[in-house]
């Protein structure tokens, strides 16, 4: 029910009209008007909104990205400082010990073990401590392994430390197969002699710094070396000493942020910093998808809201377009109807004129035949020999009778032609119907159709337009004739109703009209006889005429049984008809 | 007492005159208006039967001219043309208006009506 009324709101009427005869009765291209109005309104209404939606989305996207860029940069920078501090602090401790403790104390195991105990307590993270002389031999060691006397002279760290004075190693497994890193500091050179203090640092402490810097959840922070080997475990890219599958950024002395793609192809935001005096690169990786999650959900809501709004706007636009085009369509249709009616009546008027002309031309020769036949009969009557010749007299009577019949027909034609100017006069319905029926008598005989007229003698004389009524009855009887088949019947009855109106019923035993068609038969152009040249105007003209005459028409029909048209006419006509209101006797 | 028949259709008017004569109504006929105007003033005619539509002059005009010469003349119009205009004009101008073809008895009836007046 609701769907139907909604459909009626948006579906333009012209779509419902199907022309069976293929002719286009439209004055305008409604489809074009409708489409243009719909498209134009849609563009005007939706383009600015869509534009703003897109611009807003872009701006907010950019803002969030910038914000994240800055945040990542800050995080990277802070973490870098923390890590640098962590390493520097331990390195400084070693340097302090070298400065503070004398060689003797450091080279004694008890002294070294005491210092390691202090370091563990003061800083934490120290695992062992060893003293290496300038030849690379570890002269003393304290820690969980027995490494005293080990020669490091060819180790890379030793060479590096000798060169630079201090050294921080990458994370490695070493003899112990436990990931760890070492830091080493060189003592000042005195008389070409020096020694190196070397400490192993526990990686756990190192990792805890990184994880604590992971202030932003849903991101990954880790340290890798310059070849991309992980120095601390990563959430997404592997365990310690695995190679990360991310681009290694070029060296930069400050913290940097850049966009890249991770191994899955997802765009990621990477913040990184090279840790000074170490082989480490600190990296923070944030997946764009995670960063933009909030933005995406907001966008989703926006798009939902936008879509629903657009649907409503489109619906309203459809309604407006349909309403507008329907108005134009209705106006056109009524104009067209008026034009058709005018055309129809002017056609009838010219047929009437033609009929009158023909009738007049025929009347003169008819009167000659009439008088001459009459004269012949008169002459025969004078002579005895012919007086009793019944055959001759009969022949002459046939001639005069035929002339009388022809005269009747021409009189009717003249009368028919006279009717097209409407004027109110007293009308005897019985005579009017009989006169109209006279046009159909011959056809009724040929097709063996019985015509019954049952109109009471005391039916009131009504005041109406004779010509219009004749047109109404002519069309209705003509329709009845077209509906009935051979041996059918047509019945015409009339009765007065409440002394105010007269009802005339015209019934046939024809094919009937379906209930659906009954609703439409008075609409102009509705026809079931389009293939036989029906214009679909007859009943609409009748309807128009009866409206003018303050009358009415209704139909009752059953498919296959027959149809009854009931014409209601007022006995007294009140009002004006075409500006003329004459009542003549 | 005589009737003057005026109609451009000679075959019609002559036959009609003859038939009237047979029925004891003296009738004379002519097919032209000129002859009609010439004959009409004669006192023996008391009724003129005129065709409404004739060449040169319409029946209505002819009637007016005859009336000018014979004010007591009475008229019947006959016509093959049943237009509303000619009907209105005919009935206004003359006592009777008959549409062709008609039965002779109808005409005689009208003639008798006029004579009885």
And the tokens for B29? 């006929």
Whether residues A372 and B11 touch (CB distance < 8 A) is answered with yes
CA distance A271 to A477: 97
B82 min Cα distance to partner chain A (Å): 6
Least CA distance to A357: which residue of chain B?
B81
Decide: A483 and A563 in contact? Cβ < 8 Å. Answer: yes
CA-based nearest residue to B40, from B91, B16, B80, B75: B75
CA atoms within 13 A on the CB side of A524: 15
Question: Any alpha helices (H) in A383-440, and if so which ranges?
Answer: 384-387, 390-418, 429-437
- Coil, strand or helix: which one is A268? strand
How many contacts, defined by CB atoms under 8 Å, are there between A and B? 79
Task: Give contacts of B11 with chain A, Cβ < 8 Å.
Answer: 368, 371-372
The H-or-E segment that residue A259 falls in is strand A256-261
Query: Which pLDDT score is estimated for A188?
Result: 87
A412 touches chain B (CB under 8 A): no
Average model confidence (pLDDT) for chain A?
84
Query: Which pLDDT score is estimated for A27?
Result: 53
- Highest mean pLDDT pick, A40-49, A98-107, A438-447: A40-49
For residue A578, is pLDDT > 60? no
Average model confidence (pLDDT) for chain B?
85
Q: Cis ω on the peptide bond leading into residue A296 (within 30° of 0)? A: no
The arithmetic mean of pLDDT across residues A18-28, rounded, is 51
- Highest mean pLDDT pick, A271-275, A408-412, A436-440: A271-275
Query: Which pLDDT score is estimated for B90?
Result: 64
The Cβ of residue A491 has, within 10 Å, a number of other Cβ atoms equal to 17
CA-based nearest residue to A11, from A308, A335, A315: A315
Least CA distance to A397: which residue of chain B?
B103
Whether residues A404 and B9 touch (CB distance < 8 A) is answered with no
Confidence band, pLDDT 50/70/90 cuts, at residue A581: very low
For residue A324, is pLDDT > 50? yes
Instruction: Walk across the sheet containing A180-186 and list its strands.
Output: A138-142, A126-133, A195-202, A180-186, A166-168
Residue % of chain A over a pLDDT of 90: 29
B15 min Cα distance to partner chain A (Å): 6
Whether residues B100 and A407 touch (CB distance < 8 A) is answered with yes
User: Cα A360 vs. chain centroid, distance in angstroms?
Assistant: 68
The arithmetic mean of pLDDT across residues B40-69, rounded, is 87
Task: Give contacts of A435 with chain B, Cβ < 8 Å.
Answer: none
Query: Which pLDDT score is estimated for A583?
Result: 30
For B100, the closest of A356, A366, A375 (CB atoms) is: A366
CA-based nearest residue to A236, from A255, A254, A258, A221: A221
Residues in chain B whose Cβ is within 8 Å of chain A: 9, 11-12, 15-16, 18-19, 22, 78, 80-84, 99-104
CA distance A579 to A202: 117
Decide: A152 and A169 in contact? Cβ < 8 Å. Answer: no
Residue to substitute from B83, B88, B100, interface A, most A β-carbons within 10 A: B100
CA-based nearest residue to A199, from A147, A156, A264, A153: A147
CA-based nearest residue to A301, from A290, A309, A289: A309
Decide: A79 and A210 in contact? Cβ < 8 Å. Answer: yes
Decide: A321 and A329 in contact? Cβ < 8 Å. Answer: no
Higher per-residue confidence, A541 vs A77:
A77
A430 min Cα distance to partner chain B (Å): 22
Confidence band, pLDDT 50/70/90 cuts, at residue A490: very high
B97 min Cα distance to partner chain A (Å): 14
Residue to substitute from A359, A364, A365, interface B, most B β-carbons within 10 A: A364
Decide: B47 and B114 in contact? Cβ < 8 Å. Answer: yes
User: Cα A329 vs. chain centroid, distance in angstroms?
Assistant: 24
Residue found under tokens 């000619």: B86
For B104, the closest of A362, A366, A374 (CB atoms) is: A374
Q: Give A277's DSSP letter.
A: T
Which phi and psi angles does A130 have, rounded to 5°? -140, 155
Task: Give contacts of B9 with chain A, Cβ < 8 Å.
Answer: 364, 367-368
CA distance A100 to A98: 6
For B18, the closest of A359, A370, A375 (CB atoms) is: A375
Query: Which pLDDT score is estimated for A438?
Result: 79
Query: Which pLDDT score is estimated for A434?
Result: 87
Least CA distance to A400: which residue of chain B?
B103
- Highest mean pLDDT pick, A351-360, A416-425, B51-60: B51-60
Q: Give A279's DSSP letter.
A: S
**A190-232 confidence digits (pLDDT tens):** 888 899 999 999 888 888 888 776 555 678 889 999 999 999 8
Contacts of A570 (CB under 8 A, 6+ apart): A462, A463, A464, A500, A501, A549, A550, A551
Higher per-residue confidence, A22 vs A574:
A574
Task: Give contacts of B16 with chain A, Cβ < 8 Å.
Answer: 371
Decide: B108 and B116 in contact? Cβ < 8 Å. Answer: no
Least reliable range by pLDDT among A224-228, A297-301, A374-378, B89-93: B89-93
Least CA distance to A363: which residue of chain B?
B80
pTM above 0.80, yes or no: no
Query: Which pLDDT score is estimated for A524?
Result: 63
A407 touches chain B (CB under 8 A): yes
Q: At what angle do helices A293-382 and A390-418 cross, to 10 degrees?
A: 150
Q: Give A393's DSSP letter.
A: H
Query: Which pLDDT score is estimated for A70?
Result: 93
CA distance B40 to B36: 6
CA-based nearest residue to A493, from A405, A564, A420: A564
For residue B84, is pLDDT > 80? no
A350 min Cα distance to partner chain B (Å): 14
- Coil, strand or helix: which one is A580? strand
Whether residues A367 and B22 touch (CB distance < 8 A) is answered with no
Q: Per-residue b/e over A327-364, b at no fewer than 16 CB within 10 Å?
A: ebbeebbeeebeebbeebbeebeeebeebbeebbebbb
For residue A585, is pLDDT > 50? no
The arithmetic mean of pLDDT across residues B11-33, rounded, is 92
* DSSP secondary structure letters along B2-61: EEEEE-S-HHHHHHHHHHHHHTT--EEEESSHHHHHHHTTSTTEEEEEEESS-SSS-HHH
Residue found under tokens 């009140």: A574
Contacts of A59 (CB under 8 A, 6+ apart): none
Query: Which pLDDT score is estimated for A310?
Result: 92
Q: What is the dihedral of CA A360, A365, A368, A369, to 10 degrees?
A: -120
Task: Give contacts of B18 with chain A, Cβ < 8 Å.
Answer: 375, 378
SS (H, E, C) A336-362: HHHHHHHHHHHHHHHHHHHHHHHHHHH
CA distance B42 to B56: 23
Decide: A72 and A271 in contact? Cβ < 8 Å. Answer: yes
For residue A439, is pLDDT > 80? no
CA distance A386 to A377: 9
Strands A280-287 and A267-274, sheet pairing? antiparallel
A370 min Cα distance to partner chain B (Å): 7
Residue % of chain B over a pLDDT of 70: 87
Query: Which pLDDT score is estimated for A580?
Result: 36
Which phi and psi angles does A558 have, rounded to 5°? -130, 130
**A363-410 confidence digits (pLDDT tens):** 888 999 999 999 998 888 888 878 888 888 889 999 999 998 888 888
Decide: A38 and A321 in contact? Cβ < 8 Å. Answer: yes
For residue A561, CA distances in Å to A483, A488, A489, A581 come to 11, 11, 11, 42
A353 touches chain B (CB under 8 A): no
């Amino acid at each position: 029910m609701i769907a139907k009324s909604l459909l009626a709101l948006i579906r333009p009427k012209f779509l419902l009209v199907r022309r069976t005869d293929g002719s286009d009765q439209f004055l305008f291209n409604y489809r074009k008007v409708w489409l243009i109005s719909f498209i134009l309104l849609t563009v005007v209404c939706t383009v600015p909104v869509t534009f703003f939606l897109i611009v807003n989305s872009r701006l907010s996207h950019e803002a969030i990205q910038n914000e994240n860029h800055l945040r990542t940069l800050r995080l990277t920078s802070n973490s870098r400082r923390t890590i640098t501090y962590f390493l520097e602090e331990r390195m400084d401790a070693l340097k302090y010990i070298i400065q503070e403790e004398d060689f003797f104390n450091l080279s004694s195991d008890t002294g070294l073990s005491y210092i390691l105990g202090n370091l563990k307590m003061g800083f934490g993270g120290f695992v062992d401590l060893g003293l290496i002389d300038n030849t690379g031999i570890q002269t003393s060691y304290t820690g969980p392994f027995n490494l005293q006397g080990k020669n490091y002279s060819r180790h890379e760290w030793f060479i590096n430390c000798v060169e630079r004075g201090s050294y921080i190693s990458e994370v490695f497994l070493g003899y112990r197969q436990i990931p760890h890193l070492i830091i080493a500091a060189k003592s000042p050179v005195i008389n070409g002699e020096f020694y190196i203090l070397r400490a192993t640092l526990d990686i756990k402490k190192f990792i805890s710094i990184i994880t604590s810097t992971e202030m932003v959840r849903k991101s990954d922070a880790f340290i890798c070396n310059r070849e991309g080997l992980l120095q601390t475990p990563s959430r997404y890219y592997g365990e310690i000493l695995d190679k990360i599958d991310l681009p290694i950024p070029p060296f930069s002395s400050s913290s940097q942020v850049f966009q890249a793609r991770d191994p899955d192809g997802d765009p990621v935001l990477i913040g990184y910093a090279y840790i000074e005096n170490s082989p480490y690169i600190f990296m923070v990786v944030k997946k764009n998808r995670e960063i933009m999650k909030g933005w995406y959900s907001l966008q989703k809501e926006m798009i939902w809201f936008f879509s629903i709004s657009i649907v409503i706007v489109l619906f309203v636009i459809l309604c407006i377009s349909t309403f507008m085009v329907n108005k134009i369509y209705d106006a056109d249709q009524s104009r067209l109807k008026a034009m058709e009616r005018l055309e129809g009546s002017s056609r009838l008027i010219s047929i009437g004129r033609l009929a009158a002309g023909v009738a007049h031309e025929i009347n003169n020769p008819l009167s000659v035949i009439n008088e001459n036949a009459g004269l012949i009969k008169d002459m025969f009557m004078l002579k005895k020999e012919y007086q009793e010749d019944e055959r001759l007299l009969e022949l002459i009577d046939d001639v005069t009778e035929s002339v009388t019949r022809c005269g009747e027909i021409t009189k009717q034609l003249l009368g028919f032609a006279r009717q097209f100017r409407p004027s109110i006069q007293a009308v005897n319905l019985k005579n009017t119907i009989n006169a109209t029926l006279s046009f159909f008598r011959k056809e009724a005989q040929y097709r063996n159709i019985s015509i019954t007229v049952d109109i009471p003698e005391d039916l009131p004389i009504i005041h109406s337009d004779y010509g219009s009524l004749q047109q109404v009855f002519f069309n209705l009887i003509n329709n009845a004739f077209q509906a009935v088949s051979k041996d059918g019947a047509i019945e015409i009855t009339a009765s007065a109703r409440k002394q105010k109106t007269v009802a005339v019923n015209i019934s046939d035993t024809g094919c009937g009209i379906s209930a659906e068609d009954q609703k439409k038969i008075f609409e102009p152009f509705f026809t079931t006889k389009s293939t036989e040249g029906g214009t679909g105007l007859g009943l609409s003209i009748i309807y128009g005429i009866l409206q003018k005459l303050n009358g009415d028409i209704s139909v009752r029909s059953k498919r296959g049984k027959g149809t009854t048209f009931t014409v209601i006419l007022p006995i007294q006509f009140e009002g004006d008809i075409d500006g003329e209101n004459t009542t003549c006797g | 007492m005589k009737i003057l028949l005026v109609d451009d259709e000679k075959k019609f008017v002559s036959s009609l005159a003859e038939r009237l004569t047979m029925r004891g109504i003296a009738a004379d006929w002519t097919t032209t208006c000129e002859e009609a105007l010439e004959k009409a003033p004669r006192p023996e005619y008391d009724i003129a039967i005129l065709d409404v539509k004739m060449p040169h002059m319409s029946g209505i005009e002819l009637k007016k001219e005859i009336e000018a010469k014979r004010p007591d003349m009475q008229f019947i119009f006959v016509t093959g043309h049943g237009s509303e205009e000619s009907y209105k004009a005919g009935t206004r101008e003359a006592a009777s208006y008959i549409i062709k073809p008609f039965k002779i008895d109808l005409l005689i009836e009208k003639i008798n009506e006029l004579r009885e007046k």
